Amino acid sequence: MKKAFFVTGTDTEVGKTAVSCALLAAAAQAGLSTAAVKPVAAGCDESGHNDDALQLMSCMTEALSYEQVNPVALAAAIAPHIAAQQEGRRLQAGRLAGMCRGVMLSGAEFVVIEGAGGWRVPINPRETLADLAKELNVGVILVVGMRLGCINHALLTAEAIRRDGLHLAGWAANQPGPQMQCHDENLDTLKALLRAPFLGEVPFLSPFKPEVAAQSLSLQPLLG
């Protein structure tokens, strides 16, 4: 059994990496070999490494190089197409897809491909990260940050995913900070309106512990 999923979010800083790490931990706990790709990361340290990519590496079972996990590491923490422009680089969905497929073929049974920002983040004047997901033709996992505005953002993103012809394999809620006002009512509304399996909610953890967060998620809808 081999499964691969593209993880997107309702916006930036909603918890894509937290949910991706929790999914990797849950898959490992289920006895699956795991790997991850962060094809494009904007915002790197002095060594050229991105924190999200490093977190993914720490949670997967396969031994891959940093360059395999994060093939395009851009220095500035800004929109990827602008960061690439500043560095004289050009991002293309087809080339990024080839890099992702290299990891997908590495032998891992469960692979997470984490996007950057939301579904329509541009990578060049004509393509967005949605085009990468379409090239890969894998199921999509939507991460909803539980904060004011999340219902509208989640419904619009789910609609866009389906219009692009991709399967919304599931969605997960994430608490990026202290619990929002009327949290339970917002979560119940999302459960009623999002036509996709609910994988669970990752709580706010400080420090974040993937093995603890994994207990809040169910892989059954993804592996069935």
Exactly one of 2, 38, 191, 209 is catalytic; which is it? 38
Closest CA to 23 of 141, 138, 102, 139: 141
Phi, psi of 191 (to 5 degrees): -60, -35
State how far the Cα of 19 lies from the Cα of 141, in Å rounded to an integer: 10
State how far the Cα of 179 lies from the Cα of 181, in Å rounded to an integer: 7
Residue 208 has which token pair?
């974040």
From its phi and psi, is residue 43 left (phi > 0), alpha (psi between -120 and 50) or beta? Answer: left
Pair 108, 119: CB distance under 8 Å: no
Pair 99, 113: CB distance under 8 Å: no
Count of all residues that appear for the chain in the document: 224
**Run of H or E including 95:** helix 93-104
Residue 163, classed as helix, strand or coil, is: helix
Phi, psi of 203 (to 5 degrees): -75, 165
Pair 100, 108: CB distance under 8 Å: no
Please give the single-letter amino acid code of residue 164: D
Let me know if 134 is a catalytic residue: no
Active site residues: 38
